[in-house]
Structure 1
Amino acid sequence: MSTAERAFAPRWPKIGAGLMGLALLMSLALVFFSLNREIIYEGIKINGIDVGGMSQQEAVNAVEAVMKPVLQREKLTLNYGGGTWEINLDGIGGTFSYYKAVEKAYGIGRDGNPMDRIKKIMDLKENGEEVELEFNFDALALRAFLERIDREISTPPVNATIRRAGEEFIVTPEVYGIGVDIDTTVDEIAADLRRMDFSPKQLVVETKIPEVTGQKLERISSRWSVFSTVFNTQSTGRSENLKIASTAIEGSVLKPGEEFSFNQVTGPRIAENGYQEAPVIFKGELVPGIGGGVCQVSSTLYNAVLYANLEIVERHNHTIPSAYVNMGQDATVVDKVLDFRFRNNTDGHIYIASWVSGNRIYAAIYGEEREEDIKVKIRTETVNVIEPVVETVIDPTLGVGEQVVEKEARKGYRVKTYRQVIINGEPQKEELLSSDYYKPENGLIRRGPDDISANTDVEEADTPA
């Protein structure tokens, strides 16, 4: 090596080190300068989209330009049983959280002291960092989509049914239904959508179980009570009304806790429903009316319910005593005004039977075989007899001593009715069922004038001359 070479050789490493130091200082200066610039730092991406060096609004625009077509292109696809349903993401109110993601990207490298931030910014340039967009959707719109699918594929459950053949019962089994489990499907889809997993999904379908199953109805095997009343078959309109109402009741099944409404089950007493004209009680008088006689059906059923030891919810007595049941044991009904209602206060299903045979109408209650021997006694107590007032008026058109009963008088009553249950031979406390008032009906008699010949003589003797 020459003398000149030896003189310059040591300088090259020093110059190189100096240049590297200068470059580092310049880089640090640039990084330090960028600490306060309102841009997203280099190396940061949002869903693979490079937003480094952009302002927040520029980043929003850049990301939206790429991702907005995704909302129109991608679909939510649901599959079940060979069927497929699709809807565009914007059809469920789908949006990306552009501003939220950009705000997060902008915040990277802005925490800590200046040196910490410089280190982070330099690391970002070297290694980069990814920010994920969030996908949002309208849960109500998604539910509406699922409800439309449910209307297409759902099948309602069908309750088991029971019919009576004499004292035997024939049960038709229940049918299970299906339907979209909307809540579960929404939860499962939502989790995937928020991760921007737009792959096809499976509908979650649930089985719909009928309220009444054959297993429950098959337990109905025991007749708890039966009650009958007599009617006049010569009254054709009234007889037909009894049959119509009785047929409507036959086969009614009550679940535990369920109520029976006579008016609801038998329907409006109108000619369109087949009811005919027959005498009805109106303001204490018998007058023609559509549906006359159905109160005998409700009264017969009332007594069957009493003897079955079921709970009475609503019951009203007539204004006058009935010919077919004891006072305190009748149950009048009027459309939309007075109803007869009772509740199945047992743990099992009950079957209500009602039928006409000859000149009798029957009502019976059937249920599960009871573990205890239950008997029921009904007792009616007449608290007060109210005598009517009979008014007599003179009618000169009638002969002497002649009289006509214009209006029959009828006694009134106040009665109390009790029920006592006897369980396994042990009488239980008596229950007051009702306190009823049957209004008296005042009478009216028209009578001819008395023999007035004697009175005429007296009047003439007292007349001044």
Structure 2
Amino acid sequence: MSEDTTVKRKGSFKSKRNGVILIIAIIIIAFALKQFTSKKLYNGKIAQNIYIEDVNISNLTKQDALDTINAKYPVKNLNLSYDNKEYTIEAKDVDLSYNTKQLVDDAYNLTRKKSYFSNIITYISTKFGGHDYIIEAYYNEDKLDEQIGQVSKQINKDYVDATISVSSGITVKESQSGLKCDDEANKKSIKKAYKEKNYKTIALKVDVIQPRVKTEDVQSIDTVLGSYSTTFNAGQYERSYNIALALSRCSGTVIMPGETFSYNDATGPRIVSNGFKYASVIVAGDYQDAPGGGVCQGSTTLFNAVLLSGLDITQVRNHSKTPAYVSRGRDAMVNDGDSDFKFTNNFDHPVYISTYAGAGRASAQIYGSSKDKVGVSIKTTTFTYSGLPGAKTYRTITKDGKSETTQIYTAVYRD
């Protein structure tokens, strides 16, 4: 046998042996892949090292994983509390839910949604690197607002201003603070609880609303600062009714230091739907019937009481015709347009309006603190302007021995 033949036989044997090894290796790899595929990759369970929040759902079926997550993070009703009382927002009333089923589906499909070899790579990467999911809360925003509003209605309370009555001496009715739920802040707390799946009772944020006029404010009111009265024909029922209605809407008002009182705001528009009746009014220098006839006598009566109290007159004007119930320069015309009677409390303490009309007499008193009481004198001078009668009104205020005179207004009348 030649040397070449021996080499060829040895090479052939080696090739066959390598082929056998390759086939065996392929068989082993195929078997291993089959085993891996059936027992690890496509075994009906979630891959390894996968978490939803802090729950390890590795090697669980979808249903087992869902049950485990729902047991750890169930949808619950949320309790709110204020002043030792509890209020509940039920999950069903706001359509509260968590996306746990979707997350379990996503976790299950993580190593199944791509090609076979891509899924193997994902499996290996997940096994050693892990994969985390965060649960999200879903709810109906409008329904949540409605539930928060219903809770707020049970807690909210209007504040009550202190008032006084002067029928028989000066009596103080105490003020009461109010309550107002901070719906926006409470909603943020609720949404945070849903997001974090934290169902501890939430302490509601409720603001205490202080009254505009407190008890200690009106306790300083102890005297009459100014008063005035006018007369009217009680037989004119509609006009008498309007005077009484307008003044009744002013009576009982407390004006704090720095605040401005508006007669028009207090009485409201002179229309039938606001309670006023048709009666004679001056329009463009002539008399005609309109809703609210007589309210100017109310404003005039109040104006003179304010004038005598020393309060700051901030808006006043005269009628086009001289009214019968007061002298020139002492009237205060109002309408629903640009004419209003306003005054500002320039004192250090609150003032109180007391007004009344009945039996042919309209009266107004301004009550306040004796510490604010000043001496007041009124002077009216008459003049003629283009043949028309006019008057200038001056007020002198004396306080601490010092007097100061100011002009209140200049009035010109058609007659």
Q: Is 1:437 matched up with 2:412? A: yes
- Which residue identity does 1:47 align to in structure 2? E
| Superposed displacement of residue 353, structure 1 | 1.4
Provide the residue aligned with 1:281 in structure 2. 282
Provide the residue aligned with 2:327 in structure 1. 326
**Any conservation in 2 of the 1:72–1:88 contact (CA below 8 Å)?**
no
Tell me the secondary structure at the aligned position of residue 222 of structure 2. strand
Q: Deviations over 1:429-458 (max 9, x none)?
A: x43332333235xxxxxxxxxxxxxxxxxx
**Any conservation in 1 of the 2:77–2:88 contact (CA below 8 Å)?**
no
Tell me: CA distance 1:45–1:163, structure 2 relative to 1, closer, same or farther (3 Å): same
Aligned-residue RMSD, C-alpha: 4.5
| Superposed displacement of residue 330, structure 1 | 0.9
**Any conservation in 2 of the 1:74–1:89 contact (CA below 8 Å)?**
no
| Superposed displacement of residue 216, structure 1 | 2.1
**Any conservation in 2 of the 1:71–1:88 contact (CA below 8 Å)?**
no
Provide the residue aligned with 1:376 in structure 2. 376
Aligned residue runs from structure 1 range 354-369, under 5 A: 354-356=355-357, 360-369=361-370
Segments of structure 1 that go 5 or more residues without pairing to the other structure are 1-39, 54-58, 107-120, 388-411, 441-465
Provide the residue aligned with 2:156 in structure 1. 154
Q: 2 CA distance for matches of 1:377 and 1:284?
A: 31
Q: Deviations over 1:185-229 (max 9, x none)?
A: 345445544432234434444444433333322221121111223
Q: Paired residue for 1:45, among 29, 41, 51?
A: 51
| Superposed displacement of residue 240, structure 1 | 4.3
**Any conservation in 2 of the 1:46–1:63 contact (CA below 8 Å)?**
no
Provide the residue aligned with 1:418 in structure 2. 394
Tell me: CA distance 1:43–1:279, structure 2 relative to 1, closer, same or farther (3 Å): closer
**Any conservation in 2 of the 1:78–1:85 contact (CA below 8 Å)?**
yes
Instruction: State how many pairs are aligned.
Output: 353
**Any conservation in 1 of the 2:328–2:390 contact (CA below 8 Å)?**
no
**Any conservation in 2 of the 1:315–1:332 contact (CA below 8 Å)?**
yes
Provide the residue aligned with 2:262 in structure 1. 261
Q: 2 CA distance for matches of 1:279 and 1:82?
A: 58
- Which residue identity does 2:52 align to in structure 1? I
Q: Which has the higher contact order (CA 8 A, sep 6+)?
A: 2
Q: 2 CA distance for matches of 1:72 and 1:271?
A: 61
- Which residue identity does 1:248 align to in structure 2? R
Provide the residue aligned with 2:88 in structure 1. 85
**Any conservation in 2 of the 1:382–1:415 contact (CA below 8 Å)?**
yes
Tell me: CA distance 1:283–1:201, structure 2 relative to 1, closer, same or farther (3 Å): closer
Segments of structure 2 that go 5 or more residues without pairing to the other structure are 1-45, 111-124
Aligned residue runs from structure 1 range 153-302, under 5 A: 153-166=155-168, 168-233=169-234, 235=236, 237-269=238-270, 278-302=279-303
| Superposed displacement of residue 265, structure 1 | 2.9
Q: Deviations over 1:244-295 (max 9, x none)?
A: 4333332222234443332343345566777555543232123445543332
Percent identical residues: 28
- Which residue identity does 2:407 align to in structure 1? L
Q: 2 CA distance for matches of 1:361 and 1:145?
A: 51
**Any conservation in 1 of the 2:98–2:135 contact (CA below 8 Å)?**
no
- Which residue identity does 2:349 align to in structure 1? G
- Which residue identity does 1:85 align to in structure 2? T
Tell me: CA distance 1:42–1:358, structure 2 relative to 1, closer, same or farther (3 Å): closer
Tell me: CA distance 1:148–1:69, structure 2 relative to 1, closer, same or farther (3 Å): farther
**Any conservation in 1 of the 2:312–2:346 contact (CA below 8 Å)?**
yes
Tell me the secondary structure at the aligned position of residue 220 of structure 1. coil
Tell me the secondary structure at the aligned position of residue 73 of structure 1. coil
Q: 2 CA distance for matches of 1:183 and 1:356?
A: 47
Q: 2 CA distance for matches of 1:288 and 1:196?
A: 69
| Superposed displacement of residue 370, structure 1 | 1.8
**Any conservation in 1 of the 2:244–2:358 contact (CA below 8 Å)?**
no
Q: Which moved more, 1:155-164 or 1:287-296?
A: 287-296
- Which residue identity does 1:254 align to in structure 2? I
**TM-score, scaled to structure 2:** 0.67
| Superposed displacement of residue 341, structure 1 | 2.7
Q: 1 CA distance for matches of 2:203 and 2:275?
A: 52
Tell me: CA distance 1:199–1:137, structure 2 relative to 1, closer, same or farther (3 Å): same
- Which residue identity does 2:375 align to in structure 1? K
- Which residue identity does 1:149 align to in structure 2? V
Q: 2 CA distance for matches of 1:156 and 1:90?
A: 28
**Any conservation in 1 of the 2:213–2:254 contact (CA below 8 Å)?**
no
**TM-score, scaled to structure 1:** 0.60
Q: Deviations over 1:372-415 (max 9, x none)?
A: x522333334453433xxxxxxxxxxxxxxxxxxxxxxxx1344
**Any conservation in 2 of the 1:417–1:434 contact (CA below 8 Å)?**
yes
| Superposed displacement of residue 298, structure 1 | 1.1
